[in-house]
Structure 1
């Protein structure tokens, strides 16, 4: 599906379905696109939920310039839902997407049915070598990020999804970035001030953390979880930051648990 937000065309994945139940917004991370959510998007769409998995501005099939601040991306997320006529939603975000999801909750908590944070950290600092390489559009930025995003086991090959080589898939996604997009994403993460976030939310919150995550270490995810009163934590043994690729079934099961608490299929 393609819609217009702020005068720019936005591609929205729907999981190959057109459900009419509770809306589920899926926000991808830095340098990624909607395809990282393929398994959960298809699962929830086929169970009657209204899946919204956008390519963020300047990413994937979406037009426009990449936005370089989390608050701007959060405001854009609500404008996207407004354009689709959606009042409230269950919102999941991975990595940078988790910051966007948290900022959306801070700006409009009454519209948040539940919040799911995958591979999260507040703040989300980015190393200088990675920032500098991305600023120069140097391939080393993609090499560093792709290596650090996967656990040692994940880098060896083999995957629960037949035919999937997650290390190569991650690199291929990063290679598709237009010049300047990855740098904008990393700067958005690095500059984000968690002091702007809301006090504990009244809606259910889920944190999914990889125990071998080098990008957003598990202790950071647990600290985020401790900020919320209604928060469940799922720890993924031996899993790196790219949990949607390394542990797809476990991630989906955790997401199903949250959706089952507050969502209704169409």
Structure 2
């Protein structure tokens, strides 16, 4: 489904269905340099369980046109415009990495529009190393290599996949390689500069779920304590053996976890 926001075309994957106002809605937000396809399995699953699903391509990503947005708050405000255009009053928001920060900021500042929040592969603050930022800024393929290496657990870099016929390392690299030049830098820099996350978390009123990988090296489990403490009684699900890219590494375990709030 394509809609128009701020004179730009926005692609929303809806499992080929129109929005039904009688059903609950779930919005899925991808991570840095990615697109809606990372949420295909989850979106199809929840669509078949009686929900409207809306997996967005952020501006300048995937099939959405326009320039990439450069801050988490601007992305959260853009998300509200998406809901307005689709005539969705409130939705559960699910985000991975960058998307988790967008979902957090949206749930804090647009509280009446968020009925549940699920943050996947997350940490607050979310600092990005200088080496990765420099590579992203220079459109250096090394950025894709580093994010793929650290985004997958060591176990999942040896080949094999729970989804037949898919190579995790190759899939991750191809996903980054098809991103628009500059998009990955703006995304990673937005993560690095977002400093209001803990304050925002303390104001979130809807049910909250954090899904974390025990082997995550980009947003390590050991650093998530402050965020867990900032929320009011969040659900926390730790997937053993999984790294940062949970949608690829542990798809079924992730779906089981998401059902706790969706």
TM-score by length of 2: 0.96
2:210 pairs with 1:228: no
Query: 8 Å contact 1:120–1:224 — kept in the other structure?
Result: no
2:152 pairs with 1:150: yes
Shift of 1:19: 5.8
How does 1:141-180 map onto structure 2 within 5 Å?
141-180=143-182
Q: Which of 102, 107, 115 is residue 117 of structure 2 equivalent to?
A: 115
Q: Which of 33, 44, 47 is residue 45 of structure 1 equivalent to?
A: 47
Q: In 2, Cα distance between the equivalents of 1:235 and 1:19? A: 32
RMSD of equivalent CA atoms: 1.2
Q: Which of 60, 67, 70 is residue 69 of structure 2 equivalent to?
A: 67
Structure 2: give runs of 5+ residues left out of the alignment.
none
Shift of 1:68: 1.0
**How many residue pairs are counted as aligned between the two chains?**
259
Shift of 1:162: 1.0
Structure 1: give runs of 5+ residues left out of the alignment.
260-266
TM-score by length of 1: 0.94
Query: 8 Å contact 2:100–2:119 — kept in the other structure?
Result: yes
Query: 8 Å contact 1:15–1:44 — kept in the other structure?
Result: no
Shift of 1:229: 1.6
Shift of 1:106: 1.5
Secondary structure at the residue paired with 1:258?
coil
Query: 8 Å contact 2:39–2:55 — kept in the other structure?
Result: yes
**Structure 1 pair 181–152 and aligned structure 2 pair: CA distance change class (3 A):** same
